[in-house]
Structure 1
């Protein structure tokens, strides 16, 4: 827009090669490429279309939890009960199916149980707003898994193999190559990405995470938003439980252990800050596949799970440190020049 003085005012930012190269997502892409090169080098079984698609099945169950976890972290909160929600949802799925419910109804019940667990988290945090989300979800983590263990004790519930189409949710492929679960995940990821970066709800999440008081006085209904996000986390815990049950053909109270840490780790590695207000959904998705293929590649050469944990731990520490050093300084310099 040109004024009387002839000066042109533009709201569009010019492309900056320096800023692009030092984006966290660019760095993740470079690491992702390096991981794949390493995997190809150490195992001749790695580089095949079927093998790579099969690899996605090993980590996409957890990846479903990263979708709502991005939202939870974006508003500056955390949910460490999602793994237990997966366990309880899967147990209820098995119990309802073996009680005579048709499988389709059991699936709806499982998802509903997950959503109710998330709703409970949201209601507690909204009602007692002075409570820390980590402490509350730690309590519900124990509660949900405790209920699952009371229902089944140390037993498993199964019989899912009698419904042939159910196992195909995890093992089935479109065209004999692309897993059904992969396609479902891609559709869900696109929806979450659009909501996070292109919707009013997404802009409000960034505002709440950046400054909750300012967001409150600007008219954002924060309690309603928190309840929606935590319920969404529970809903996808139920969906995750369905895929896990389809994979195993049974359900046990101990499934989903550690899923919450994996989901949070993927989000953090992807650049979603734990104190809220900053993050890129694409970065989180790159991190999902980076960690997933890294673990798959190391597994092909029989690297122990303990070493994998060390490698993932180092990556997460690095992910937390680097933005506060190189990338943080660049952001500060850019801010000072505006």
Structure 2
């Protein structure tokens, strides 16, 4: 299956329009430093959106992915307070994410429960655990290496001041290459499409449907953990409301990227382009001092539009037959 299609080219054109349009309207928006800065928040959301895309293509969904981020950040904070080094802190965060994702997958595959119901429950469970354990407190005092990961650039690491690409963006691009290759260039990717298109037929064709579903939920937890490490390093603290509402942003990115909400269709390239588009647009709104509530309203309206428009186009096409 091709990674690029007509919708991906539309998204690419919209990205150009956003950066050119706001570049003329906002002083400094199109500067290299502003563009690099706009990728930080987008990079974290792109990580969880790619994992969400695979789940939705397979006919599942994970609404607990942002709450998992909060729990992973908390695990990393506790590891730091216990005296763990960099490896121990990363292991705590990644292990927590995989455990959360695997638990979601176990509930879905072992007990045959709808993933939307399961992950609504675990959303409350994971976020509630973070609230109970931290309350109104925050964990701070993270080491310099974590702050460097969240706020530094590749130039800082390599000693090249002109290389202003954020480390977060580089990590996201590296993971994007892995996701694109797996989804569009391997038999595993084709099996994920088959599961989403018709899970019963996929099972009869010899595909281990439940095993793939469990793996996809575990990968979603792992990507949530990676995003949590980056976000914690960027803001320098762990709070129970970390990434609050990001599941909505991730779903918006996935659907805007052309992934069919009913499963079986979509591309990781489209999801990445949608993340860049939404990230650039919200960054521009931030430079215009638009409030967070207004941005949330825009994201919610955009989610409704991108779900309704494809169906409206299909119905219009059927009306002309």
2:279 equivalent to 1:292: yes
Distance apart, 1:298 and its partner CA = 1.4
In 1, the alpha carbon distance for the partners of 2:151 and 2:119 equals 32
Q: Which has the larger displacement, 305-314 or 185-194?
A: 305-314
Aligned length: 312
Q: Equivalent residue for 1:170?
A: 150
In 1, the alpha carbon distance for the partners of 2:121 and 2:152 equals 37
Please say if residues 44 and 172 of structure 2, whose CA atoms lie closer than 8 Å, have aligned partners that are also in contact.
no
Q: Which has the larger displacement, 88-97 or 315-324?
A: 315-324
Residue 36 to residue 328, structure 1, CA distance change in 2 (3 Å): farther
Q: Equivalent residue for 1:4?
A: none
Distance apart, 1:325 and its partner CA = 3.5
In 1, the alpha carbon distance for the partners of 2:239 and 2:294 equals 27
**Normalization by structure 1: what TM-score?**
0.87
Distance apart, 1:322 and its partner CA = 2.6
In 1, the alpha carbon distance for the partners of 2:298 and 2:134 equals 35
SS of the equivalent of 1:178 reads coil
Residue 45 to residue 164, structure 1, CA distance change in 2 (3 Å): same
1:196-235 equivalent positions in 2, closer than 5 A: 196-235=183-222
Q: Which has the larger displacement, 311-320 or 54-63?
A: 311-320
Residue 310 to residue 149, structure 1, CA distance change in 2 (3 Å): closer
Please say if residues 70 and 239 of structure 2, whose CA atoms lie closer than 8 Å, have aligned partners that are also in contact.
yes
In 2, the alpha carbon distance for the partners of 1:51 and 1:125 equals 42
Please say if residues 59 and 263 of structure 2, whose CA atoms lie closer than 8 Å, have aligned partners that are also in contact.
yes
User: Could you say which structure has the larger radius of gyration?
Assistant: 1
Q: Considering only aligned residues, what root-mean-square deviation do their CA atoms show, in Å?
A: 2.1
In 2, the alpha carbon distance for the partners of 1:307 and 1:294 equals 13
SS of the equivalent of 1:181 reads helix
* Stretches of structure 1 lacking an aligned partner (at least 5 in a row): 1-11, 14-18
2:134 equivalent to 1:152: yes
Q: Equivalent residue for 2:158?
A: none
* Stretches of structure 2 lacking an aligned partner (at least 5 in a row): 156-160
1:232-243 equivalent positions in 2, closer than 5 A: 232-243=219-230
Q: Equivalent residue for 1:103?
A: 86
1:254-269 equivalent positions in 2, closer than 5 A: 254-269=241-256
2:171 equivalent to 1:184: yes
SS of the equivalent of 1:59 reads helix
2:113 equivalent to 1:134: no
In 1, the alpha carbon distance for the partners of 2:272 and 2:165 equals 18
1:1-338 equivalent positions in 2, closer than 5 A: 23-129=6-112, 131-160=113-142, 163-175=143-155, 176=161, 177-326=164-313
Q: Which has the larger displacement, 69-78 or 300-309?
A: 300-309
Please say if residues 126 and 226 of structure 1, whose CA atoms lie closer than 8 Å, have aligned partners that are also in contact.
yes
SS of the equivalent of 1:277 reads coil
In 2, the alpha carbon distance for the partners of 1:329 and 1:217 equals 36
Please say if residues 42 and 301 of structure 1, whose CA atoms lie closer than 8 Å, have aligned partners that are also in contact.
no
In 1, the alpha carbon distance for the partners of 2:170 and 2:53 equals 20
In 1, the alpha carbon distance for the partners of 2:174 and 2:316 equals 36
**Structure 1 outlier segments of 4+, above 4 Å:** 327-330
Cα shift readout 1:19-50 (whole Å, capped 9, x = no counterpart): 96xx2222222222221222112201101111
In 2, the alpha carbon distance for the partners of 1:152 and 1:56 equals 29
Please say if residues 73 and 274 of structure 1, whose CA atoms lie closer than 8 Å, have aligned partners that are also in contact.
yes
In 1, the alpha carbon distance for the partners of 2:228 and 2:137 equals 17
Distance apart, 1:194 and its partner CA = 1.0
Please say if residues 66 and 267 of structure 1, whose CA atoms lie closer than 8 Å, have aligned partners that are also in contact.
yes
Distance apart, 1:64 and its partner CA = 1.0
Q: Which has the larger displacement, 198-207 or 151-160?
A: 151-160
Distance apart, 1:102 and its partner CA = 1.5
